[in-house]
Amino acid sequence: MLMSNSTGTYLEMFPAEARIVRMAFYSSFLALAIGGLFGLIQTLHRTDVLRFIDSTDYYTVLTAHGVLLAITFTIFFLVGVFTWAVTTSLDRGLEDIRFTWAWYGLMVLGTVLTAIPIFAGFTDAIDMSASVLFTFYAPLQGHPLFYLGLVLFVVGTWLAGADWFRSWWAWKQEHPDERIPLPTFMVLTTTLMWYIATLGVAVSILAFLLPWSLGWIDTINPLLTRTLFWFFGHPVVYFWLMPAYMMWYIMLPKISGGKLFSDPLARVVFVLFLILSVPTGIHHQYLDPGIAEGFKFIAMTNTMFLLLPSLLTAFTVVASMEHGARQRGGEGYFGWLTALPWRDPIFTGMALAGLMFAAAGFSGMINAGMNINYLVHNTFWVVGHFHLTVGTAVALTFMAVTYWFLPQVTGKELWNRSVALGQVVLWFVGMTFMSNAMHRAGLLGIPRRTAEPQYDGFEFEAGVGSVAELDAQIVLGGILLTLSLVLFFANVIGTVLNSRSETLPPNEYAETLSGPEDAPPVLDNLKLWTAIAIVLVVFAYTFPLLSIVDRGGLFGPDITPFPTLVDPGTVIAYAGQQLEGLVLAVMTPLVEATLSAVIR
- Residues designated catalytic: 234, 238, 385-387, 448-449
Euclidean distance between CA atoms 199 and 530, whole angstroms: 14
Q: Is the peptide bond before 139 cis (omega within 30 degrees of 0)?
A: yes
Euclidean distance between CA atoms 279 and 331, whole angstroms: 44
Cα 253 versus chain centre, distance: 22
Residue partners of 110: CB distance under 8 A and separation at least 6: 149, 150, 151, 152, 153, 154, 155, 156
Euclidean distance between CA atoms 364 and 351, whole angstroms: 20
Euclidean distance between CA atoms 6 and 10, whole angstroms: 9
Nearest to 398 by CA among 284, 567, 251, 498: 251
The answer to whether the CB of 398 falls within 8 A of the CB of 244 is yes
CA dihedral (81, 86, 90, 91) positive or negative = negative
Compute the CA torsion angle 315, 320, 326, 328 (nearest 10 deg).
-150
Write the secondary structure of 471-487 as one string of H (helix), E (strand) and C (coil): HHHHHHHHHHHHHHHHH
The answer to whether the CB of 244 falls within 8 A of the CB of 393 is yes
The answer to whether the CB of 147 falls within 8 A of the CB of 205 is yes
Q: What is the DSSP string of 416-468?
A: -HHHHHHHHHHHHHHHHHHHHHHHHHHHTT-BSS-S---BTTB-PPPSSS-HH
DSSP one-letter code for 332 = S
Nearest to 461 by CA among 449, 473, 475, 443: 443
Amino acid at 496: V
- What residues form DSSP beta bridges with 289? none
Residue partners of 516: CB distance under 8 A and separation at least 6: 179, 180, 181, 182, 263, 264, 267
Euclidean distance between CA atoms 65 and 481, whole angstroms: 14
